[in-house]
Amino acid sequence: MPEGLILGMDVGGTNLRLGVFRGGDCVATLRVEAHLRERCLHAENSAAAESAILDILADAIVQTRQQHPEIQGVGIAFPGFIQGDGTLLQSPNLPGLHHLALGTALRERCGLPVLVENDANAAAFGEFVHERSRQPGLEHLLYVGLGTGVGGGLILHGQPWRGAHGAAMEVGHLIVVPGGRRCGCGNQGCLEQYASATGVKLSYTERTGHAPALPVVARLAREGNADAQAAFALAGNTLGQALAHLLKVLDVSVLRLGGGMSAAWDCFAPALQKRLEADLIPVLRGSVDLQRGNDDDQAGMRGAALLAAARQGGS
């Protein structure tokens, strides 16, 4: 009997990305422009926001299942703090959603097992499964996603570590520049203000007054532009500082970086590696396997699908 299909879904503020997976192999992908953030911002109240989000997710599942009736389960990578059986406590990107029993509600509406996981944890699990295929004894992996913000996921003993409030590994809000740039979380000097795509663009704009897209800043850095190189160096330096703190706490030896900004890996990696090595304690120096992640584009939905499949398989 062939292995069943699992639908993996990556929920973003603008787009839903869907992938139909058999094991770790993606057999079909789909992108739905759903504008979830705007719908949350314009909803009359919390109940209206929750109902809009549930409708969109349930419709996407039902429609994909019509095209692929063999789908046996769903894994959702969701941007927010997730607890227990897929309850969303809160989402910084999708305001108005509080204590929403996403997993249960979608299971009831779609008649399929639904697993919901924090998006960075799901991506971490995707990277973990890939890495474990090369290192069979692997148990732990730390993942940091560099995109519009900075997220983190930790796999411990083969499972995502959520923490008491689903808020473990909020790496982007480690303070790296005391008194620095204001952050959406209410503090100042958080890592994501410097080491995200948004942060790098801001660093470049502060120096030049221009505000190009990140790939342009990356191209300028590669061409030798000193302002663009300084913006990426600041990202690498602050990231190295934060990762050294994390590794001193966790002593995890496999670290993967993903997200859209990892495409500019060559622009920030030298500063990152230099700062990381300098800040680590001697016993950890030279022992960290730090690399760009395997697949930034599908890591979230693949990881969610693999987690859902593992749940169904009882492992």
| Positions that interact with Zn ion (CB under 5 A) | 173, 183, 185, 187, 190
Give the closest residue to 246 by CA, choosing from 286, 186, 216, 288: 288
**Minimal distance, residue 107 CB to Zn ion, in Å:** 33
**Cβ-based nearer residue to Zn ion, 120 or 307:** 120
Rounded distance, CA 116 to CA 130, Å? Answer: 20
Contacts of 8 (CB under 8 A, 6+ apart): 18, 19, 20, 21, 74, 75, 76, 77, 298, 300, 301, 302, 303, 304, 305, 306, 308
Rounded distance, CA 198 to CA 23, Å? Answer: 34
**Minimal distance, residue 174 CB to Zn ion, in Å:** 9
**Minimal distance, residue 239 CB to Zn ion, in Å:** 15
Backbone phi, psi, residue 32, to 5°: -120, 125
Which tokens belong to 102?
């996403």
Strand partners, 223: none
**Minimal distance, residue 198 CB to Zn ion, in Å:** 12
Strands (E), the chain: 5-11, 15-22, 25-33, 71-78, 81-83, 87-90, 98-100, 114-118, 141-146, 150-156, 159-160, 254-258, 289-292
Rounded distance, CA 1 to CA 248, Å? Answer: 46
**Cβ-based nearer residue to Zn ion, 160 or 189:** 189
**Cβ-based nearer residue to Zn ion, 48 or 185:** 185
SS3 content of the chain, % helix, strand, coil (to 5): 45, 25, 30
**Cβ-based nearer residue to Zn ion, 89 or 175:** 175
**Minimal distance, residue 15 CB to Zn ion, in Å:** 24
CB half-sphere exposure, 222, CA atoms < 13 A: 10
**Cβ-based nearer residue to Zn ion, 190 or 306:** 190
**Minimal distance, residue 90 CB to Zn ion, in Å:** 15
**Cβ-based nearer residue to Zn ion, 174 or 220:** 174
**Cβ-based nearer residue to Zn ion, 127 or 170:** 170
Decide: 101 and 83 in contact? Cβ < 8 Å.
Answer: no
**Minimal distance, residue 28 CB to Zn ion, in Å:** 37
Query: What is the Cα 313 distance to its own chain's centre?
Result: 24
Q: How many residues does the chain have?
A: 315
**Minimal distance, residue 183 CB to Zn ion, in Å:** 3
**Minimal distance, residue 145 CB to Zn ion, in Å:** 15
DSSP 2: P
> Is the Cα dihedral 101, 105, 107, 110 positive or negative?
negative
**Cβ-based nearer residue to Zn ion, 173 or 275:** 173
**Cβ-based nearer residue to Zn ion, 75 or 79:** 79
